[in-house]
Amino acid sequence: MVKKERIARVLVVLFVFIAVLIFVVGWLKNQNLNADSIQIHARMPENGGWSVTSINAETNQPIHLKLTSDDVVHGFAIGKTNHPAVDIFPGEFVETTLLFDKPGTYTFYCTRWCGVNHWRMRGTIDVRGEGPLVTNPPPAYLQLGIDIDTEHEAEVIPATDVSPQTGSLFADDLPSYVLDQETYFSNSPAKIWMRLRAEPTLSELSDQEVWDVVAWIWQKNTSPSMIETGQTLYAENCAACHGETGKGDGIMVRDLPKHDSDEHSTNDPHSESGMGGLIRPHDFTDANHVLGASPALFSGKIIRGGMGTGMPYWGPIFTEEQINALVSYIYTFAW
């Protein structure tokens, strides 16, 4: 009797010991795995988004990621870095190694249109280490005091197509402020047109010729390669809402009511969306709308987003050059 009890007791102790051992070994193994690589599952935002949304890293210490998708095809990229985007296919693992040489907070995001809330698939990587922190300067629209949320219809628009080439013929007659990058950045084409129209030295020019000058100024502040970069970024990140041709008819918004100022309709664009407040964007081919906006306003909108309109914020994703490229590209729809 006593013997049996003893055996039972030993067995229990042994059992508990083995259980603890299994647990500890499992935990250690897990720790080890984590040190070697981080496994991340991608799911559509409705299904939970990224399984990991914050990653810690140290400068100059590689981190290995094992990525897979639990539903549709997603993509993985990190804003403001040159790390190549990785496609993530359901049921497959793809590995990638990240290396940061500057401390700061980076944003990783999905690059594939996986659904309406696609752009919400974002997470952060906190990189610690020596060196100056990578930070973002405040967007220019704040310093310039431009309200990016008010309507900005153009006071004037060109009667016909503009010709930057013709505009360049008057280059020598222009007041010098016109060629400042600052002037371009903080004024809408319509504003600059009005300023030039009021210049006594340009009184000989026709209204259309003044527009040609404005178009030339816009051309001077961009370049074919910038437009090309803008076009690529736009196709990947913006066309799903703003439409391939900029008309505001991308697949994500096609069925939503039109924007008030576009059709002078009585539709309240906010009323029926039911998609996290997504409304239909303005028509970028509408000169009335686009020529009334300054590059600072457009870039501010892109950086900050729409605050409840469904326009995503891209500040942590794109570099200043990329945002300027997008802005140059947007004007090409309207000219």
Closest approach, Cβ 311 to Cu ion, in A, equals 18
Residue 113 contact, options Cu ion, ligand HEC, none, Cβ 5-8 Å cut-off depending on partner type: none
Q: How far is CA 307 from the centre of its chain?
A: 14
Closest approach, Cβ 231 to Cu ion, in A, equals 22
- Angstrom distance (rounded) from CA 188 to CA 152: 9
Q: Which residues bind Cu ion (CB under 5 A)?
A: 74, 110, 114, 121
Closest approach, Cβ 204 to ligand HEC, in A, equals 33
Nearer to ligand HEC, 309 or 332 (CB): 309
How many CB atoms are closer than 10 A to CB 140? 19
Helix (H) or strand (E) holding 39: strand 37-42
Nearer to Cu ion, 41 or 74 (CB): 74
CB 121 within 8 A of CB 50: yes
Residue 205 contact, options ligand HEC, Cu ion, none, Cβ 5-8 Å cut-off depending on partner type: none
Closest approach, Cβ 314 to ligand HEC, in A, equals 5
Closest approach, Cβ 292 to ligand HEC, in A, equals 8
Closest approach, Cβ 246 to Cu ion, in A, equals 24
CB 108 within 8 A of CB 114: no
Query: What pairing do the DSSP bridges indicate for beta strands 104-109 and 54-58?
Result: unpaired
Strand partners, 105: 126
Nearer to ligand HEC, 103 or 250 (CB): 250
Closest approach, Cβ 253 to Cu ion, in A, equals 18
- Angstrom distance (rounded) from CA 137 to CA 55: 23
Residue 241 contact, options ligand HEC, Cu ion, none, Cβ 5-8 Å cut-off depending on partner type: ligand HEC
Nearer to Cu ion, 110 or 156 (CB): 110
Which residue has 């010098």 as its token pair? 176
Task: Give the orientation angle of helix 189-197 with respect to helix 207-220, to 10 degrees.
Answer: 130
- Lateral strand order in the sheet of 37-42: 37-42, 63-69, 94-98
- DSSP 8-class letter at 115: S
Residue 50 contact, options ligand HEC, Cu ion, none, Cβ 5-8 Å cut-off depending on partner type: none
Q: Which residues bind ligand HEC (CB under 6 A)?
A: 119, 237-238, 240-242, 252, 278-279, 281-282, 289, 293, 298, 301-302, 306, 309-312, 314, 326, 330
Which residue has 């094992």 as its token pair? 66
Residue 114 contact, options Cu ion, ligand HEC, none, Cβ 5-8 Å cut-off depending on partner type: Cu ion
Residue 191 contact, options Cu ion, ligand HEC, none, Cβ 5-8 Å cut-off depending on partner type: none
Residue 110 contact, options ligand HEC, Cu ion, none, Cβ 5-8 Å cut-off depending on partner type: Cu ion
Structure tokens at 306: 């729409």
- Angstrom distance (rounded) from CA 226 to CA 261: 30
Which three-class secondary structure state does DSSP give residue 87?
Answer: strand
Nearer to Cu ion, 74 or 289 (CB): 74
Nearer to Cu ion, 110 or 140 (CB): 110
Closest approach, Cβ 65 to ligand HEC, in A, equals 24
CB 290 within 8 A of CB 284: yes
Nearer to Cu ion, 74 or 122 (CB): 74
Residue 103 contact, options Cu ion, ligand HEC, none, Cβ 5-8 Å cut-off depending on partner type: none
CB 158 within 8 A of CB 208: yes
Nearer to Cu ion, 85 or 144 (CB): 85
- DSSP 8-class letter at 116: T
